[in-house]
Each structure stands twice: as C-alpha cells, then as structure tokens.
Amino acid sequence: MIDQRWTRLAIACVLTAAMPAFAAESAPRYNTVELQADAQREVQNDLLNASLYVELNDTSPAVLAGLVNKSVNEALRVAKDYKGVKVRSGNNQTYPVYAKGNVLQGWRARAEIRIESRDFETASRLIGQLQAGMQLGGMIFSVSPEARRTVENELIAEAIGAFKARAEIVKTALSGHGYKLQRLNVTSGYNAPQPRLAMARLAAPASGQDVVAPNMEAGVSMVTVTAGGAIEILE
C-alpha cells in the first residue's frame, strides 16, 4: 500500500508540473497576422500533346474493325520514322448505329493515336502526313514536368522573400519591434492558356492527298508559387 501511494503521488506531481507548460503552449496568441505573397513567371511551352483519329462506318463489325485497325497500324508504322516523337495507341471503340424504329443500321468505330513531342517542327510534319488518312482531334501545348519543376524551385525563394518583405511592412505598420513566424506554407500553381495560334484548321483531305503541315505557335504558361502563413507581431 505504501508503494502504491508513493506511485500515485509521483504521477500527480508529474502531471502538476506538466500543466503550466501545457497551458503556455495552448495560450492564445495575440497580434497574429495572416499573410500571403506570390511569385510568378511566364514559361515557354516546350511540350506538345496531340491526338488523331479515324472514324468509319460499315454494316459488318468484323470488316469495320479490320479497316480501323489497318488505318491505326499504318499510322503507327509511319510515326516510327519520326525520331523525337512519341506515339502510342489511344481510345478504341465500336458502337451500333440505329435507324428509325430502333432498327440496327450498321456499326461505327473510332480509334485514335496520341502524339507527344518537344520537337514541334518534326511533330508538325508527322501530323501533316497522318492527316492524309486521319482527322486531328486536338493539340495541347504545355510546360514539361522537368522545366516546370526547375522554375518552381527558383520561384520558392522569390515567394518566401516576398512574404518576408510583407511581414516587415506589417510589423512597421503595427509599430512592432519584431515578428515571429508561426507557420509557412508553400504551394505551386500552373496555368496553361490557349496558344494564340495553335494550328491551322484543315478540311478533311481526299484519300492519298498530301496535307500541308499545320503551323504551330506554342505560347506560354504561367507558373506561380505562393507562400502563405501567419506571423506574430512582437511588441
């Protein structure tokens, strides 16, 4: 019993000693100000993603699949001759076509390939050649992950510097003698506006007809790093 009483007393002393420290940590902070500062930079888009597709109709789904597969396989074969351009198969689907009265009229199939490249000139020539038998579904220009990461790393220091400059302004405006950083969060953002002139829209060419390669202007994207947090003004 004596040992148990001493144990309980020791625990009570430890808890009592810890209470002031806990109370100090949970005490409300005054003169706290929320701040945010941004650093932005326009970055030249250096990556192109495009899709081309073929869409055909036939009364036989087997015949239709053969025609579509032949077109896609030929496009993939042609693309292998263009170094610096990554090409892969995209979506492939077949669905029925109904006439009035819900009568099956035939089948329609659509298959696509996707292109990725940093060599815009070579990609443009490939797209122009493939458009002799396929339709251009769309083109998107963006900043490559590697380039974006490099810019973000440079902007982190700028954003934090802007945050510190604003903290000094707030401290002076509140007649403080200094400030203490309570927390700081750094986030990044990315905005890729549509290029001013991404491509020249082309009508569907006749079979076997050469197509002029589309003109491309990649444009720029905006990379942003934001430093946000809270400071405590010291009196």
Say yes or no: 111 and 227 in one domain. no
Number of domains in the chain: 2
Answer yes or no: is pLDDT of 6 > 50. no
Say yes or no: 36 and 149 in one domain. yes
Say yes or no: 193 and 207 in one domain. yes
Answer yes or no: is pLDDT of 209 > 90. no
Say yes or no: 55 and 129 in one domain. yes
For 118, the token pair is: 């940093």
For 173, the token pair is: 């405006």
Q: Nearest-5° angle of CA 176, CA 180, CA 181?
A: 135
DSSP state letters, 131-198: TTTSEEEEEEEE--HHHHHHHHHHHHHHHHHHHHHHHHHHHHHTT-SEEEEEEEEEEEEEE-PPPSS-
Say yes or no: 168 and 225 in one domain. yes
Say yes or no: 150 and 41 in one domain. yes
For 128, the token pair is: 């122009």
- Across 66-72, average pLDDT: 93
Say yes or no: 39 and 147 in one domain. yes
Please check whether residue 111 is in contact with residue 72, taking contact to mean a CB–CB distance below 8 angstroms.
yes
Q: Could you tell me the residue range of the domain that residue 171 belongs to?
A: 29-46+143-235
pTM summary value: 0.71
H-helix or E-strand containing 49? strand 47-58
Question: CATH no. for residue 118?
Answer: 3.30.70.360
When computed from its CA atoms, the radius of gyration of the chain, rounded to whole angstroms, is 32
Side chain identity, residue 86: K
DSSP state of 27: S
What is the C-alpha separation between 43 and 220, in angstroms, rounded?
5
Of 117, 142, 167, the last residue of a domain is: 142
DSSP state of 84: T
Say yes or no: 125 and 151 in one domain. no
Say yes or no: 119 and 228 in one domain. no
Q: Summarize pLDDT for 149-190 with one digit per residue, the tens.
A: 999 999 999 999 999 999 999 999 999 999 999 999 999 998
Of 142, 157, 174, the last residue of a domain is: 142
Answer yes or no: is pLDDT of 7 > 50. no
Q: In this predicted structure, what is the pLDDT of residue 25?
A: 54
Report the range of poorest mean pLDDT among 88-92, 125-129, 203-207: 203-207
Q: Is 31 exposed, middle or buried (0-12, 13-18, 19+ CB in 10 A)?
A: middle
SS3 assignment for 199-227:
CCCCCCCCCCCCCCCCCCCCCEEEEEEEE
Instruction: Please choose, from the candidates 48, 41, 39, 38, the residue with its C-alpha nearest in 3D space to the C-alpha of residue 143.
Output: 48
Highest mean pLDDT (candidates 100-104, 174-178, 203-207, 218-222): 174-178
